[in-house]
Amino acid sequence: MLLFCRSCRNGLLVEEGQHCHCFACNTCPYVHNITGMVTNRKYPKLKEVDDVLGGASAWENVDSAAEPCPKCEHPRAYFMQLLTRSADETMTTFYKCCNAQCRHRRRD
């Protein structure tokens, strides 16, 4: 919790006195005694992250190629190519096994 001085509007700091804790200003003599428990929790809202592969619908209309799966050795895999780096780099190819029980994903 951030409180401000009533006199000079600077931020108050928590200081430990002889018998109690208080909020005190660093630049002027303003002091505010803490008489009860002070709690205030604020959790930052996490920003939403976009799925770089296009989400769940990205694999709906892709083609398949004769690319064997390294996990189950199925002879075909779905593939799509995306530009994941700068424009002068080559495209990244993503593969997903055509076997419904496997669905292993990898990239080249």
pLDDT tens track for 79-99: 988 888 888 888 899 999 999
Query: Which pLDDT score, from 0 to 100, does residue 40 have?
Result: 76
DSSP secondary structure string for all residues of 25-80: ESSS--EEE--S-------PPPPP---TT-SGGGGTT-EEES---TTT--S-EEEE
CB 98 within 8 A of CB 68: no
> Annotated binding residue at 97?
yes
Query: Which pLDDT score, from 0 to 100, does residue 89 have?
Result: 86
The structural architecture, per CATH, of the domain 1-41 is Single Sheet (2.20)
Count Cα atoms within 13 angstroms, Cβ side, for 56: 0
> Annotated binding residue at 98?
no
Give 1's pLDDT tier (boundaries 50, 70, 90): low
> Annotated binding residue at 5?
yes
> Annotated binding residue at 28?
yes
Give 53's pLDDT tier (boundaries 50, 70, 90): low
- Asked: is 61-107 a CATH 2.20.25.10 domain? The reply is yes
Query: Which pLDDT score, from 0 to 100, does residue 39 have?
Result: 76
Return residue ranges of the chain for CATH 2.20.25.10.
1-41, 61-107
> Annotated binding residue at 69?
yes
> Annotated binding residue at 8?
yes
pLDDT tens figures, 6-39: 889 899 988 887 777 888 998 999 988 888 777 7
> Annotated binding residue at 22?
no
